[in-house]
Amino acid sequence: MSFALTLKTFIAGRHSNETVMLRYAESGDKALLTRLYTACGDDLYHFVLTLSDPTLAQDISQKTWLKVIEKKHLFRDSGKFKAWLFTLARNQLVDELRQHKNHSGDIDTLIDNKKTLDTCMSRADIGSRFDQALLSLPFEQREAFCLQQEGFSLSDIAKITHCGTETIKSRLRYGKQTLSKQLATDLEISHD
Amino acid sequence: MTEPKDPSEDTLSVLYSKRKSEHRAPTTIKRKVLKAQLTENTHTAIFNRISYVAVAASTLLLVGVILLRQEQLNMPELTYQTVEIHSLKPSNELSSASIRNRYAQNYKTYLEHQKAFAQHHQKHATLTVTGKFWELKTCDDEIMQISEELIVALNKIQRIDSKLSSGDIVQIAFDQSGMILGIQGSSVHLNC
């Protein structure tokens, strides 16, 4: 039993994103990068998409992966690969949004535009209502909620977003409350 | 009025997962990233190749320098012999005019230097009889060739030991201008 557990841990460790990333950093093997992309590509894109729009999300995702290729030697064994990847993406996104802010005003304005577009979506199913509710959250709450849903711990989220743990807790609490209220209201309306 | 339903965290997670599955990363990102990786590999390969060539060239250069230096260090010490021609023959009878002039000049210079030397000084040398010439070799690697005419002339004035044979140690007497005045046998043993 113990042997099986050890073997399982060994195999899991051997195929973890961190191990694959370390091997990729050493060899630059395309197959290893493909494995990393397969493991985290969709998660990253969805995270960035939730915080921006499809065009920007595609752009940021691509830039992030190119950065992984370029800065692969900077990845440390002690860190989680996904957290490192999301930190890279988040930093790029914030930089991009700041540039947009300089050109077209507030970040929230930019995101509100997206919300306006999304209101045209069908309200028929709960999925769409969840989309609406999620996109109506303030940027920081949406970001914290997404990162938690991606499996990051409070301390990981704090590191990725460069905030304190208490701030993250607070953002998560408000975000979830808003989502719950929104969905509950929508469900009530749809029932009526 | 019904109470709004409060969706649990599980529901939020399910809805989030559902949303994520509906928003997969476009394949163009993966394609571009892998293409970039291929380019990176090519650049790395070229850079590595250049590095290897540079290292090999440097190593060869270093080895070459070391070998050359070692060869220079191992070269035997350059030795030379000074040959002086003592002859009664007029200088214009010598075979080569240039050699004659050069030797005459050198001999003159030598004699001038010898002026500061003791007026009557003597040297010990080993006699070698080769055909018409006598060769007197000193411990300073100085070889004096004595022409037949000079031997006859010295013999006439009894300034030469007629019993001398090849291999004998002789004493050579010079005048103040460096001219040989006599050659006599010597009992001194030369330690060259």
What was the pLDDT predicted at B29? 92
CA distance A27 to A22: 9
Q: Which residue has the higher pLDDT, B124 or B190?
A: B124
Let me know if residue A150 belongs to a domain: yes
Q: Which residue, of B76, B104, B129, is where some domain finishes? A: B76
Same domain, B14 and B71: yes
Domain that holds residue A111: 41-191
The H or E element spanning position A4 is helix A2-14
**Inter-chain residue contact B20 with A46, CB threshold 8 Å:** yes
**Inter-chain residue contact A130 with B44, CB threshold 8 Å:** no
Q: pLDDT tens digits for A108-120?
A: 554 544 444 444 4
pTM over 0.80: no
* ipTM (interface predicted TM): 0.80
Please name the residues between 30 and 69 in chain B that touch chain A, using a CB distance below 8 Å: 30, 32-34, 36-38, 40-41, 44
Residues written for chain A: 192
Q: pLDDT tens digits for A130-147?
A: 888 999 999 999 999 999
Show residues of chain B in contact with A127, CB under 8 Å: 15, 18-19, 22
**Inter-chain residue contact A30 with B34, CB threshold 8 Å:** yes
Domain that holds residue B35: 10-76
CA distance B148 to B146: 7
Show residues of chain A in contact with B23, CB under 8 Å: 45-46, 49
In B65-121, where do the E strands start and end?
82-86
CA distance B22 to A131: 11
Q: What percent of chain A has pLDDT over 90?
A: 55
User: What CATH number should be reported for the domain holding residue B140?
Assistant: 2.40.50.140
Number of domains in chain B: 2
CA distances from A47 to A95, A143, B98 (A): 16, 8, 98
Which one, of A69, A87, A67, A61, lies nearest residue A32 by Cα?
A: A69
User: What CATH number should be reported for the domain holding residue A46?
Assistant: 1.20.140.160
CA distances from A182 to A50, A130, A174 (A): 17, 8, 12
Let me know if residue A2 belongs to a domain: no
What was the pLDDT predicted at A119? 46
Q: pLDDT tens digits for B122-158?
A: 778 888 887 777 888 888 778 888 888 888 888 888 8
State the smallest CA–CA distance between residue B25 and chain A in angstroms: 5
CA distance B4 to A103: 42
Please, are residues B174 and B180 in contact by the beta-carbon 8 Å criterion? yes
Let me know if residue B181 belongs to a domain: yes
Let me know if residue A23 belongs to a domain: no
| Amino acid at site A24 | Y
Q: Which residue, of B23, B44, B76, is where some domain finishes? A: B76
Q: Average pLDDT for residues B26-34, to the nearest whole number?
A: 92
Burial code (b: 16+ CB inside 10 Å, e: under 16) for A36-51 equals bbebbbbbbbbbbbbb
Number of domains in chain A: 1
What was the pLDDT predicted at B163? 81
Let me know if residue A28 belongs to a domain: no
Among all residues of chain A, which has the CA nearest to that of B26? A58
For A126, the closest of B13, B15, B29 (CB atoms) is B15
Q: pLDDT tens digits for A146-173?
A: 999 999 999 999 999 999 999 999 999 9
Ranges B22-26, B72-76, B132-136, B152-156: which has the least confidence:
B72-76
**Inter-chain residue contact B36 with A66, CB threshold 8 Å:** yes
State the smallest CA–CA distance between residue B49 and chain A in angstroms: 16
